[in-house]
Amino acid sequence: MPSSQPKRAHLIAGGFPPGAMAGHDHDYARLKLLALLAKCEVAASVANDFADLEKWLPVSRLLITYVAGPYPDAAQCRALRQWLEAGGHWLALHGTSGGRAERVEGTRQRRTVKSEHHALLGSFFLTHPPIREFRVEVRDAASPLTQGLGSSFVVEDEPYFIELQDPGTTHILLTAEFGPDAVAPAIGTLYPADTSLLPDGRTRVIGYSRDVGAGGVAYFALGHCHNPAIRAARAFADPADTTPDTFRAPWETAAFTQLLRNAILWGSGH
């Protein structure tokens, strides 16, 4: 990807099916990300899903995804891989590690189906317990993606359980110990084992980067947000979740804002 190409980003933020909230305030996240792109003087195009991805990749240096349901299909994954190998950068946030979910007999929960985009992204979403406060440990403070974060920071967010797809090519940036009471009934029912745990049996990865040819991927599990309408539309409530009807806590955390700014600069070639 020529370094002379204008600093442009393509932002995908939306749920599935088209127009659905899918448990997240995509409008709020979209506005926050566009504001950060503007502050970094990066022009941007916007979409709700991956349908026109191949039109925007050739004119973009950076792809940002904040999605709950939409995911690139096999052909779009091939185009995305070629773009990354040529020097493109993909900043993937929160629900990007999810995707298509299937019904499981005997439960109201759905199980994420592993597909091509998980291999390219480098992670696969299993589940998360209710929102809680936890400390994020910065594994590599020298990375351009973690500049200014210090050795750790505290955030209130959904404690994601993600399974790394290729640990050997993954550079771990952020980890967290959610504590022994951060349990999810999906483990042992929807999924036979908790494959998100690192070898120490306590720690989980919530941020990493990986090289793909001349480009790369950075994924951060942080960033949940919802509004009262989204909470009211939930099919069923978790009695352990006492989160307020309006929740934007990670986006109001200085460390998460710094992380996003770092990633925009990393991906746009500043």
Higher-scoring residue by pLDDT: 231, 255? 255
- Does the pLDDT at position 2 exceed 50? no
- Minimum mean pLDDT range among 111-125, 163-177, 241-255: 241-255
Would you kindly state where each structural domain of the chain is located, as residue ranges?
A: 8-268
Q: Please tell me the predicted confidence (pLDDT) of residue 172.
A: 98
- Does the pLDDT at position 177 exceed 90? yes
Kindly state the helix (H) or strand (E) to which residue 9 belongs, with its residue range.
strand 8-15
Q: Please tell me the predicted confidence (pLDDT) of residue 73.
A: 97
How far apart CA 58 and CA 54 sit, in angstroms, is: 7
- Does the pLDDT at position 163 exceed 90? yes
Cβ neighbour number for residue 255 with a 10 Å cutoff: 20
* Across 13-40, average pLDDT: 95
* Across 29-42, average pLDDT: 98
* Across 107-124, average pLDDT: 93
- Minimum mean pLDDT range among 6-10, 102-106, 117-121, 196-200: 102-106
Higher-scoring residue by pLDDT: 1, 256? 256
Contact between 53 and 45 (Cβ < 8 Å): no
Average pLDDT, the chain: 93
Q: Please tell me the predicted confidence (pLDDT) of residue 6.
A: 79
- Does the pLDDT at position 232 exceed 60? yes
Q: Please tell me the predicted confidence (pLDDT) of residue 82.
A: 98
Q: Please tell me the predicted confidence (pLDDT) of residue 234.
A: 64
Q: Which CATH number fits domain 8-268: 3.40.630.10, 1.10.3720.10, 3.40.50.880, 3.40.50.720?
A: 3.40.50.880
For residue 237, name the pLDDT band (cuts at 50, 70, 90).
low
What amino acid is encoded at 103 in this protein?
R
How far apart CA 14 and CA 46 sit, in angstroms, is: 10
What stretches of the chain show up as alpha helix (H) in DSSP?
26-39, 53-56, 74-85, 116-121, 228-232, 254-268
Which among 172, 67, 178 is positioned nearest to 131, based on CA atoms?
178
- Does the pLDDT at position 121 exceed 90? yes
Q: Please tell me the predicted confidence (pLDDT) of residue 233.
A: 67
Higher-scoring residue by pLDDT: 249, 185? 249
Largest Cα separation within the chain, whole Å, is 55
How far apart CA 184 and CA 182 sit, in angstroms, is: 7
How far apart CA 59 and CA 86 sit, in angstroms, is: 12
Q: Please tell me the predicted confidence (pLDDT) of residue 238.
A: 64
For residue 127, name the pLDDT band (cuts at 50, 70, 90).
very high
Cα dihedral across residues 233, 238, 244, 247: positive or negative: negative
Burial 193-222 (b: 16+ CB within 10 A, else e): ebebeeeeeebbbbbbbbebeebbbbbbbb
